[in-house]
Amino acid sequence: MDTTLQHAIEAAVTTLWGKETAITQIAPLTGDASSRSYARIHLHGNGPATTVVMMLAGSALPISSDELAVFQEPLKELPYINVHRFLQPLGVHVPETYYDGSKAGFLLLEDIGDLPLREAAQGQSVADIERLYRKAIDQLVLLQVEGSKRRTDACIAFQQAFDHRLFLWEFEHFIEWGLEKREGKALSAAEGKELRAMFDDIATRLDTAPRFLNHRDYHSWNLFVQDGEIRVIDFQDALLAPATYDLETLLNDRDTPVVITPTLEQSLVDYYHKTWHERGGATIDHAQLWEEYNLCLLQKASKVVGRFYYLELEKKKTGYSRYIPPTLATIRRVVARLPRYRRLQEIIATHFPE
């Protein structure tokens, strides 16, 4: 941390909690795929025992993910701050924002601990895993149903949507990084044509699905367990998408299927369907929901393979390749549920032999 940033943080701490509160330690935290970095600040005095500083990348105002930069006018504040302002009154368990120092390159946030949902589920009984993930679904349905009911243009999440263009962008990400850049050669014309035809068909079907507010990255590493409750982070890319987009991410991302077996997955999809309607969500037929869920899952898993190779090869962020085999296994599993796209698995098998 450079001196200028540290002085700005010290000034923010004084503004918030008085001159009697001092920083006693700054400990870096391990981040995920984000370009942001984090540190835990230990305090002595009138403030909380700890706070987390989010250090923003670069000097310009971030516009969330590059592929979402579709706003008609330049943003006047961080997407994180904008979406946080919308989610908190809904009752979504987002961390408190103590201080907006975005002009100086940082935010001070509530410390929600070090226990991601995926780690909390490891080694637990099926009943305890289901209990934890039901709580995550409760938060998700709250965000989706209540959030969609309170739609407002003041929240940037309602200005962007998972549409045909964005679904295809993510499929192309898979082709570019998961296949061509990884192998160092272009796809054959025949394979490229077949893949893009199937991807266009999936994107078209998902583009016609009703859209609701979604977190966009609602996986088990963006959900923390604190005092038995689910805390939600990394929501700045929220947007409109099919209802089941976040659900399939929650139940399948990376190696989540290690703890969410197919039987438990089905039980949790059923719970989501029940909870969605109990909260007053728009009527969705269960068979329709299951089909949409699997289409979203196939699309997202394909994107994730490309994304993880992109992070490894282009961004030099190590550690993501270990999640590629379970993600490919997810693609094989979901294609078995969608026989219309069986040819996709045949093509992928030639590039990723088991």
For the stretch 114-129, pLDDT in tens is: 999 999 999 999 999 9
Q: Look up tokens 């949902």; give the residue.
A: 117
pLDDT greater than 90 at residue 88? yes
Q: For position 75, what pLDDT does the model report?
A: 81
Q: For position 346, what pLDDT does the model report?
A: 94
Domain ranges of the chain: 3-66+96-109, 117-351
Pair 223, 235: CB distance under 8 Å:
no
pLDDT greater than 90 at residue 61? no
Q: For position 58, what pLDDT does the model report?
A: 60
pLDDT greater than 90 at residue 109? yes
Q: For position 74, what pLDDT does the model report?
A: 75
CA distance 118 to 255: 9
116 pairs with which residues across the strands? 224
Q: Say what percent of the chain tops pLDDT 70.
A: 94
Tokens of 237: 């890319």
Phi, psi of 78 (to 5 degrees): -60, 140
Q: For position 1, what pLDDT does the model report?
A: 80
pLDDT greater than 70 at residue 65? no
117-351, CATH topology level: Aminoglycoside 3'-phosphotransferase; Chain: A, domain 2 (3.90.1200)
Cα 65 to chain centroid, rounded? 11
For the stretch 158-196, pLDDT in tens is: 999 999 999 999 999 999 999 999 999 999 999 999 999
Q: How many other CB atoms are found less than 10 A from the CB of residue 18?
A: 11
For the chain, give the mean pLDDT: 94
Q: For position 133, what pLDDT does the model report?
A: 98
Tokens of 320: 């993501």
- Whole-prediction pTM value? 0.94
101 pairs with which residues across the strands? 106
Average pLDDT over residues 274-284: 98
Q: For position 42, what pLDDT does the model report?
A: 98
* Residue 32 burial by Cβ neighbours in a 10 Å radius (0-12, 13-18, 19+): middle
Q: For position 57, what pLDDT does the model report?
A: 74
Q: Which is nearest to 155 in space by CA: 65, 83, 212, 237? A: 83
pLDDT greater than 70 at residue 60? no
Q: To which H or E segment does residue 38 belong?
A: strand 37-44
CA distance 266 to 294: 11
Q: To which H or E segment does residue 43 belong?
A: strand 37-44
SS (H, E, C) 19-46: CCCEEEEEEEECCCCCCCEEEEEEEECC
* Residue 42 burial by Cβ neighbours in a 10 Å radius (0-12, 13-18, 19+): middle
